[in-house]
Amino acid sequence: MFFKVLLFVGSLLFISSGFAAKLPLEKLKMPVGFKVSVWATVPGARSLAQAPDGRIFVGTRSGDKVYVVQNGKAQVLAQGLDTPNGVAYKDGKLYVAEISRILEFDVSKQTALPMKPSRILEQKFPSDTHHGWKFIRFGPDGLLYVPVGANCNICDPGKEYARIYKIDVNGNSKEEIAQGIRNTVGFDFHPTTKELWFTDNGRDWLGDDRPPDELNRLTKIGENFGFPGCHGKDILDPEFGKGKSCRNFTPPVAELRAHVAALGMRFYTGNMFPAEYKNSIILAEHGSWNRSTAQGYRLTFVKLNGSQVEKVDGFVEGWLQGDSAWGRPVDVEVLSDGSMLVSDDKAGVIYRVTYQGK
């Protein structure tokens, strides 16, 4: 068991990284030249967002807190929140997604921590907790992209669910841009085309190897990606696929392994890693539960040629040892120096992935 040590200094909560040294990082396997180290200790670390000054904001799902990490130290930025999984930064403001609403925090200047939200956005979302936690991210258009997961494992979820929206944080607009998406907890925008790419978690209880998790690409507003009738490229649901054809839905650009729980993903836009990683994708597989033999619990590399997927392969593995996992990667974020951060909500840390050459 790993013990987190919490140190109180004045009114601020600092989180000690002493226990992180006990994590078995030597069990992690990766391509030659790469290295993984513990960058910060953050209990329940989930979604990541960064400010231009180097601050990293960290959402949580199991707790009620959002953290800010600066100079290797994590502090509680806000607390008492409802499943604050999603975080996104823009123009001195931090946006935090709860289950049914989005909060704005003014982080443009120094202030006492924990802080209170400066505003609650006008747009509202369903209060269902099933797939209710959210990943949020600003797009190239300056709008905030917000998913609403299906409120079930498999069902006809109704008009509000299994969709992605985009909203104006300075107004009240809320536009649906995609549907038929069971639960996406990670997306990014292609560095060249600016198209939205996103992961999607497949349904449970169709067996160990069906259906696949998905990597999807949105090419036009209003595309339907198949849920609940079609899974992957050509698997009709035994109940909700009756009378349907997968040809009528947008297929994934890549089928991932079943039940790996693909979450956060980023296009690698840095200059530290080898050239083949440039403008390709690294995504986090949080790991399976609905499978007789566990799989996932790794970082995956998706090699692209333009917008075409050339290969999908393991990148960093070893959090899973047999059927026991000591860590579960959640989200990734590329830093200005080209290194990459990876959150882990089981180990309660953020790792830094660097490349030092062969």
Domains recognised in the chain with CATH numbers: 6-355 (2.120.10.30)
Tell me the pLDDT band of 8, cut-offs 50, 70 and 90: very low
Tokens 């509202």 appear where?
124
Name the pairing type of β-strands 144-148 and 137-138: antiparallel
Structure token pair of residue 307: 């917008």
Is-contact 214 255, C-beta < 8 A? yes
Query: In the prediction, which pLDDT does 17 show?
Result: 47
Q: What average pLDDT does range 298-324 have in this prediction?
A: 97
Side-chain half-sphere of 175: how many Cα atoms within 13 Å?
Answer: 12
Query: In the prediction, which pLDDT does 110 show?
Result: 86
pLDDT in tens, 84-139: 999 999 999 999 999 999 999 999 988 999 999 999 999 999 999 999 999 999 99
pLDDT in tens, 215-253: 999 999 999 999 999 999 999 999 999 999 999 999 999
Name the pairing type of β-strands 174-179 and 223-224: parallel
- Tell me the average pLDDT of the chain: 94
